[in-house]
Amino acid sequence: MVVVLELDGDDAFDPYTRPKGLEHSSVTIRPRPVQHGGAEENLGAERPNPNINNFSAALSCYPIVTQLTQYLDLNTLHALSRTCRQFRANLFQYRTRLIQQTLHCENETMPNTKRDIEQSDRCSVLLTGRVSPCARDMVSDCRRCGRIVCRNCAHKPPSASLLRMRHRRLCSKCLATPLPQLSRHWQDPCTCTSSVYLCAPCGTGLNVADTNYFRIWTWRTRYSTYLGGLGTGIGEGNEGVKCWRGEKCIAAQEVEVEIDCSEEGRISDRESSESDSERHWPEGEGKEERAGYWQQEIEGIGGVVKKKIRKRVRVGKTVKEWEDERDGKDDVLGRESRGEGRSWCGWCGRVVWGKKDRQIYGQAREVAA
């Protein structure tokens, strides 16, 4: 079927119905006449189209707009088309292709039915147990690992009452280091107070990790000498709470730890992915010579012989413990919860700006924007 339209050549070019190419000319918009009492009146004089600019010209080019659409989901693409009538006219001509090329979830190619999940070896990746297809209207990257997931594959965010438990304390070196040298995401800090978008593997076990971290501080306070405890030397030397950044800490140091191995000499699951070439063995102790102080055999329950090795690993510096927290006058991590000091988010793995950071880097980000 062919539709023939008869256009009047004397009329001015309408940029909304037929967008031009990369070079937009200065087009004026004629207001529609309004009838009052049988006479036509114009609402105003002719005005130029304010929405014709370089970006609207780029949206009319298919190679440019198709590359842009690969980073947008359906909601973002719809919001872009509703910016103005000029943008909508430029995007509407490629509507079918653009909808197909929007951002996809990484789990979209996985099986969606129960029968396919039972027959597939990749079903263990779906920790949420969903069997519905992936969504296309809300797709974004995980704030922690960067995987592209949709709203159906995203983990359910924790409740707002648990926001104060996500803070992790940093050492004095990490607190004094400028943000550009501390984290590559310093311009995009933690936004968990407004929205938490994590994939299923990253969102699993957040409450357990928060509870275990707070129990460390509770146990230290209970057995501290300040409260008449046993005085076991907690907090002295290397026995304090380490910086949460671990081996990426600015003042990280190497310490010796003991790792339990099986009878065949294999390391536990936590260290199984690390090869022998990556382990920090002391000088003179190779892969073939592991006897003596660096590797010992112990007899466990039931006469089972196990091996225990010593290994050098990098750990963070011991963090500071305030006097009011020891005495119970202030809550644990109270300064970090109130936003007074810089901390690290245990959910998204990004830095949480403190009061001084907001004064220095907040103004610089507003000027750059």
d(CA 182, CA 349) in angstroms, rounded, equals 13
Predicted pLDDT at 198: 94
Q: With a cut of 70, which residues of the chain have pLDDT below it?
A: 1-46, 110-132, 220-239, 262-291, 363-369
325-354 pLDDT, tens digit per residue, is 877 777 888 889 998 999 999 999 999 999
Q: What is the pLDDT of residue 279?
A: 47
pLDDT of residue 143: 93
Non-local CB neighbours of 180 within 8 Å, separated by 6+ positions: 186
| pTM, entire model | 0.68
pLDDT tens digits, one per residue of 176-214: 999 999 988 888 899 999 999 999 999 999 999 999 998
Amino acid (one-letter) located at 162: L
The per-residue pLDDT for 346 is 93
221-230 long-range contacts, CB within 8 A, separation 24+:
221/325, 221/326, 221/328, 221/332, 224/326, 226/326, 226/327, 227/326, 227/328
Q: What is the per-residue DSSP string for 149-191?
A: EETTTBPPPPPGGGGGGGEE---HHHHHS-HHHH-TTTTS---
Q: Are strands 351-352 and 343-345 parallel, antiparallel or unpaired?
A: antiparallel
